[in-house]
Each structure stands twice: as structure tokens, then as C-alpha cells.
Amino acid sequence: MTLNSNDRNADQRSYFERFSHYYLLVPGVTWMALFLIVPLLMMVYVSFWTQTTFAIHSELTTKSWVTFFSSETYFGALLRTIRIWLTVLFFTFLLGYPVALYIGLFVRSKTIQTVLLVACVIPFWTSFLIRVLAWRPMLGKEGAVNLVLQKLGIISQPIEVLLFTELAVVIGMVQIYVVFMVGPIAFMLSRIDGSLLEAARDIGAKPFTTFRKIIFPLSLPGVTVGAIFVSVMVLGEFATASALSGRKVNMLGNIIVTQVGSLKWAFAAVIGVVLTIVIAIIITALLRLVNLREEL
């Protein structure tokens, strides 16, 4: 063996070693390219195609975009989607945070923490659609809620606003998605060292001050992650909205479903692009709010 060939061998090995780990990415990148990047680009492209009643041509036009923003139905759906998203986000936080606070901070045994978190997930043992539809016999005019309230004499007439309204959609979504808020927050809270809270108490802070200045700020990354989960799922929702509103409340997702159903691909693509942009903006904003890289 000459020195030269030794060198070359070493080089070859190091070349392989230097780049071999990129091969690990091949399956993932292929998958993402084929089923995410290409369809996304395709969606943007198709949104500029010409749509006639029964056919679609690839001549480029902005007609579908103009229709979306000038139509009260469609632009209204965007506003409604954002409104429902904000309402659901608010209530999942309002209901989820105390639960997470209890599980993450006041339950000190890891076993019981796990048991309680699993208990939160029990509804997920049934299918999504069943969970949604189960709200109908609860909220209907002769549903469980109305019956119980009438029997107790709290109301004399059934509350009709409970089902087939936006309220029903919000109630359903909050129940379904609240657990995605509880999980991440409980996780962050359980990581807070108890000695921090003792230290705060010891230097004279009232319990509520300790919550406001120590516990809550330290749980914010969990709130952000929870909010991202809930946002992504609610913004793309259509099943809950259609099942609990009797198709009266149309979110962007519902419109996509209808448009695809009537073969209006170009228009469905426009809404798809709008929805993607909205979600992207919201997630970016949430990530700006809390620096997850630093906190996690």
C-alpha cells in the first residue's frame, strides 16, 4: 500500500461519512415533496384556472379570486371561520387552563398525573363523528340539557338556540378540542420546580402574585403549543360545523367540501389557498409570541 492510496481511501470514507446521514432524509423529503409541496403548488396554480359550470380550463384568470372577495357568502365564511376560531380558542383556554393547573401543579404524583391525563383522552376512544353527533341528543329541543333544566323547573320553554346554531358548533368544538389545550399546558406546569414557588412565597409574594408572575409566564410555551394545536384543527374544521349547525353555519372548510362536491375545482383551490395563508399567519404570530426554542 502506498501512502497515496491510503490517503484516497481515507478521503473516500470521510466523503461517505460526511454525506451519508443525508440519505436518512430521502424517504421523508420524497414523501413531503410528492404529497405536500407539489399539491400545494398545484392548488395555487389551479386557483387561477378558468372555471365554467361543468368544466375547468387551464387558461389563467383571477376570476375565482375576485368572486371570493366580492361575494358576501364566501368572504363572510372567512370572517365566520376566524370568529369561531377565536371563540373556541378562548373557551378551550378558559376551561383547559384550570384543569391543566390542577393536573400539572397540584397533583404531585406522576402516576396520578398520567391517570388524569389519560382520563382526559377517554372521549377519543370513540370516533370523531360519533363524538360530534352525540351532541345532538344532548343539545336538541328535546335533548338531555333541555329536559333536565325543565324538570328542575329552571326553564319553562326549551332553549332552542342550543342546537343548529353557531353556539352548538362552538360548544361541540370546545369539548372536542379542549384536551389539546390541557395536555401541553399540564406538561409545562409539571416541569416547574416547586422550589421556585416556595422561593416566591418566601420573599413575600401572595399566592396569586406567584401565579401571575411565575407560574403563568412559565406555562406560556404550553399555552402556545396548545393554541397551535387547537387553531390548526379548528380552522380546517367542517364536520362539526355541518353536523351541529344543520349546515347553516358554513366555515371555509364547509365551502371547500361543497365546491369540490360540485366540481368547482378552481374555486375550491382559492379557498384552500386562503385557508393555508390564514393558518400560516396565525401559527407564525403564535410562535412570535413565545420563543419556543428558548423555553422548551
Which of residues 137 and 217 has its CB atom nearest to another protein in the complex? Answer: 217
Which of residues 204 and 261 has its CB atom nearest to another protein in the complex? Answer: 204
Which of residues 174 and 200 has its CB atom nearest to another protein in the complex? Answer: 200
3-class state of residue 60 by DSSP: coil
Which of residues 104 and 253 has its CB atom nearest to another protein in the complex? Answer: 104
Give long-range contacts, CB 8 A cutoff, 24+ apart: 200-204: none
The distance of closest approach from Cβ of residue 204 to another protein in the complex, given in angstroms and rounded to an integer, is 4
Assess contact for 146 and 161: CB atoms under 8 A.
no
Q: Return all residues near 241 (Cβ < 8 A) that are at least 6 apart.
A: 84, 169, 249, 250, 251, 253, 254
Which residue shows C-alpha cell 396565525? 282
Compute the distance between CA of residue 110 and CA of residue 103 in angstroms, rounded to an integer. Answer: 10
Cα Rg of the chain, angstroms: 26
Residue 209 has which C-alpha cell? 402574585
Which residue shows C-alpha cell 401541553? 184
The distance of closest approach from Cβ of residue 103 to another protein in the complex, given in angstroms and rounded to an integer, is 21
Which residue shows C-alpha cell 352525540? 134
The distance of closest approach from Cβ of residue 110 to another protein in the complex, given in angstroms and rounded to an integer, is 18
The distance of closest approach from Cβ of residue 99 to another protein in the complex, given in angstroms and rounded to an integer, is 23
Which of residues 147 and 289 has its CB atom nearest to another protein in the complex? Answer: 289
- Letter for the amino acid at 267? F
In the complex, the residues that contact another protein under the rule CB under 8 A are 193, 195-196, 198-207, 209, 213-214, 217-218
Which of residues 97 and 265 has its CB atom nearest to another protein in the complex? Answer: 97
The distance of closest approach from Cβ of residue 212 to another protein in the complex, given in angstroms and rounded to an integer, is 9
Q: Return all residues near 229 (Cβ < 8 A) that are at least 6 apart.
A: 177, 180, 181, 184
